[in-house]
Amino acid sequence: MIPPETQLKDISRHFQIYGQILHAEPLKIGHINETYTATYDQGGTRVRYIHQKLNRSVFKKPAAVMHNLVRVTLHLRKKLEASRAPDLTRRTLNIIPTRDGQSFLQNGQGDVWRTFVFIEGVRTFEAVQSPVQAFQAGRAFGEFQGLLTDLSGPRLHATIPDFHHTRKRFEAFQRAVQADRCNRAASVQAEINFALRREPIADVILDAMARGHIPERITHNDTKFNNVMLDVATGEALCIVDLDTVMPGCVLYDFGDMVRTTTSPTLEDEIDLGKVRMQMPLYKALARGYLSMAGQFLNRYEKQLLAFSGKLITYELGLRFLTDYLSGDLYFRTHREGHNLDRCRTQFKLVESIERQETAMQEYVDRL
Ligand code: GN1
Ligand code: MG
C-alpha cells in the first residue's frame, strides 16, 4: 500500500464515518493543501469522502479557518434549505466531524486534517471551455456572496491577514528582488520591469476602501474557476469549494480573480503565451452571470471598478508568482523547473490583454 493510504487509514478512523475505508488517492488540485479522495464500504455501498490536510505554513490558525468554515457552510445550507433548493448536499460543502465532535483533527505532529462529503457527479476544470461555463462560474460566485450578506454574529476571522492587500504584495515583491536569494533577478529583468511600471494600480481599490466608497463584505477570495464544481449532467455550477480564505474582504477581488481564471481559455501556467488572451465573449458571459446575482447588492463604486479588478488581481497573482520564483519557490507547489516564472508570464500576458480591452470591458458592465 502506498504510504499516504496507510496514513489516511489512520486519519480516517478519527472521523464520524460509518464504514470501512477501501482505498484512497491523492487529488491533484490546488497549490497549497493536500487533498485525497477516499472510498468506503458502507453496508455494501461504496461511498466517497474527501480528506484534506491543511497547509500549516500558509494557514497559521487552523481553528480560525475551521470556525469560519463551519459558520459559512451552515449558513449556506440554512439559506438553501429555506429556498427549497433541490439536491442540497451537493450545493455546499458538508463537514464530517471527528469522533469527539470537532470540525478537524490535529494529530501528534501538528498536522490538521478535515473531512468533507465527496460530491458525486460534478467536475472541475483547470481551464474554462465555453461562455456557458463562464456564466455559471459568475452566477455561482455572485450567489455565494449574496447568500452570505446576512450572516449574523461576529466578524469572520481574517484567516490570512492582508491576503489581497496589493500594496503589501508589491512590497514583498520589492523585498524579494532586493534579496535575490537564488540569483534569479538578472534573468527576469523584463518581468521585474513590467511589475514596477504598474505599481500605481496597487493602491486603487485600497484607496477606495479607505475613503469608504467600497464596503467590506464577506468574500471568497480564491474564486478560481477550478473552485467551481459543475454538474456533469447539466453543466450547472452546483457547489463552490475551497472555503479557507472566506473572510471579510472586497467583492472586487473575487470578480477580479474570476476574470483572471475564466476569460482566457488557457491554463494558469500556459507556456504558449500566444494563446493567452482575454476573450470578450467569455468575459461578457462571466459578467452577466455574476451581475445576475450580485447586481442587486453592489454599489456604484464597486460596479465602476469591475473591469479594473480583473487587471488588478491578474497583476497581483503575477507579482505573487514572481516573488515566489525569486524567493526559491517556497509558497506555491511547483511541478517543474521555472514553474512559478511560467505562471507569472501567463499572468502578465493576460494583464496586457486586459489593458487593451479594459474600456470596452467596463462599458459592457455599465450597460448591464
Ligand atoms: C492558491 O491552492 P489554490 O490553488 O486553491 C492561492 C490563491 C491563488 C492560487 C493561484 C491560500 O490557491 O491565492 O490565487 O493558488 N491560495 C492561497 O492558482 O494562497
Ligand atoms: Mg485555494
Check: CB of residue 51 under 8 Å from CB of residue 79.
Answer: no
What are the cell numbers at 106?
A: 490535529
Q: What is the pLDDT of residue 79?
A: 97
Residue 200, judged by CB atoms within 10 A of its CB (0-12, 13-18, 19+), counts as: exposed
Tens digit of each residue's pLDDT (9 = 90 or more) over 244-303:
999 999 999 999 999 999 999 999 999 999 999 999 999 999 999 999 999 999 999 999
| Ligand nearest to the CA of residue 347, numbered in listed order | 1
What are the cell numbers at 70?
A: 463551519
- Assigned fold of 19-120: Phosphorylase Kinase; domain 1 (3.30.200)
Give the closest residue (by CA) to ligand 1 atom 14: 222
- pTM attached to this predicted model: 0.97
Give the closest residue (by CA) to ligand 1 atom 3: 30
Q: What is the pLDDT of residue 108?
A: 84
Pocket test for ligand 1, best of 27, 28, 31, 316 (most atoms within 8 A of CB): 31
Tens digit of each residue's pLDDT (9 = 90 or more) over 162-175:
999 999 999 999 99
In angstroms, the CA 42 to CA 105 distance is 22
| Ligand nearest to the CA of residue 343, numbered in listed order | 1
Tens digit of each residue's pLDDT (9 = 90 or more) over 208-252:
999 999 999 999 999 999 999 999 999 999 999 999 999 999 999
Which of 109-113, 152-156, 323-327 shows the lowest per-residue confidence on average (mean pLDDT)?
109-113
From residue 27, how far is each of 51, 98, 157, 158, 335 by CA, in Å? 10, 22, 28, 27, 15
Instruction: Please tell me the number of Cα atoms within 13 Å of 58 on its side-chain side.
Output: 15
- Assigned fold of 131-367: Aminoglycoside 3'-phosphotransferase; Chain: A, domain 2 (3.90.1200)
Strand pairing of 228-231 and 122-123?
Answer: antiparallel
Q: Quick check: CB of 31 below 6 Å from ligand 1?
A: yes
In 3D, which of 30, 29, 27 has the Cα closest to residue 38?
27
Residue extents of the structural domains in the chain: 19-120, 131-367
Q: Quick check: CB of 143 below 6 Å from ligand 1?
A: no
Q: What is the pLDDT of residue 1?
A: 42
| Ligand nearest to the CA of residue 316, numbered in listed order | 1
Q: Quick check: CB of 70 below 6 Å from ligand 1?
A: no
The mean per-residue pLDDT over the stretch 10-30 comes to 93
Q: What is the pLDDT of residue 4?
A: 72
Check: CB of residue 69 under 8 Å from CB of residue 246.
Answer: yes
Atom of ligand 1 nearest to the CA of 227: 5
- What separation in Å is there between the alpha carbon of 191 and the centre of ligand 2? 25
Q: What is the pLDDT of residue 28?
A: 85
Tens digit of each residue's pLDDT (9 = 90 or more) over 73-109:
999 999 999 999 999 999 999 999 999 999 999 988 8
User: Given CA atoms 90, 92, 98, 99 in this order, what sign does their dihedral have?
Assistant: negative
Q: What angle do CA 23, 28, 32 make, to 5 degrees?
A: 115
